[in-house]
Structure 1
Amino acid sequence: MKKIKYTLIIFLLLFSTKEIAAQKDTIAQQRTARKMLRQGNELYQKKQFTDASVAYQKALGSNSNYDKAAYNLGNAFYQNNNFKEAIPQYELTAKTAKDKFTKAEAYHNIGNAMMESKNYQGAVDAYKNSLRNNPNDDETRYNLAVAQKLLDKQNQQNKDDKNKDNKDQDKKDKDDKNKDKNKDNKDGEDKDKKDEDKDKDGKGDNDKDKNQDPKQDDKKNQQKPKPQQGKMTPQQIKQLLESLNNEEKKTQKKMNAKKAQGKKVKQEKDW
Structure 2
Amino acid sequence: MPPVFRFAPSPNGYLHLGHAYSALLNVQCAQQSGGRLLLRIEDIDPTRCRPEFEQAIYEDLAWLGITWEQPVRRQSEHLAEYRAALERLQGMGLVYPSFESRAEIARLVAQRDADGAWPRDPDGAPLYPGTATSLSEARRAGLMAGGVPYALRLDMAAAIARVGRLAWDEHGAGPSGESGRVEARPEAWGDVVLARKETPTSYHLSVVLDDVLQGVTEVVRGQDLFHATSVHRLLQVLLGLPAPAYRHHQLIRDAQGHKLSKSTQATGLRALRAEGVSPAEIRHRIGMV
TM tier relative to shorter chain: under 0.3
Bigger proportion of residues as strand: 2
In the superposition, the TM-score normalised over structure 1's length comes to 0.19
Structure having the higher Rg: 1
Higher relative contact order (CA 8 A, sep 6+): 2
In the superposition, the TM-score normalised over structure 2's length comes to 0.19
